[in-house]
Amino acid sequence: MITGIGLDIVELSRIQRLDVKSAKFRERVLTQSEHAEYIQLTAARKVEFLAGRFAAKEAFSKAKGTGIGGACSFQDIEIRKDSKGKPSVYFQNKETGLVSITHSKEFAAAQVLLQTN
C-alpha cells in the first residue's frame, strides 16, 4: 500500500550559490557518507549531486508528511545507491522508500514513493 508520495524540484544555480557561499549548507544537507561521495566529484557534478540530494530529501519529507524539521532532519535521511547505481531512501538508517532523481541543465528534481508491505 502506498503511504506517501513526494516531489521536489530545485534550481541548480540556487544550490550552487549556497554551496559557494558557505560549506554550512552542504554540511547541513549531506550525511558523512554522502559528503565522502560528493568530494570525489567534478565541480559540475558536485552541484548536480548536492541539488539532487536536497530535492530527494525534501521530497521524502513531503511524502512522510512532516517536512524538514524536528521529526525529520536532513541528517536523518540518506540516499544510497546499489551496485548498479539505483538510489534508495534510508530514514534513520532503515530503507524506507523508492526515489528517482533527475537533472537537466537548470534543475534537479526528485520523486519519492513510500509504501508498506
Catalogue the active-site residues.
62, 103
Which run of H or of E encompasses 97? strand 94-103
The residue written with cell numbers 544550490 in the block is 15
* Pairwise CA distance, residues 99 & 80, whole Å: 10
Phi, psi for residue 86 in degrees, rounded to 5: -70, 125
- Nine cell digits for residue 76: 536523518
Contact 4, 109 (CB under 8 A): no
* Pairwise CA distance, residues 51 & 86, whole Å: 17
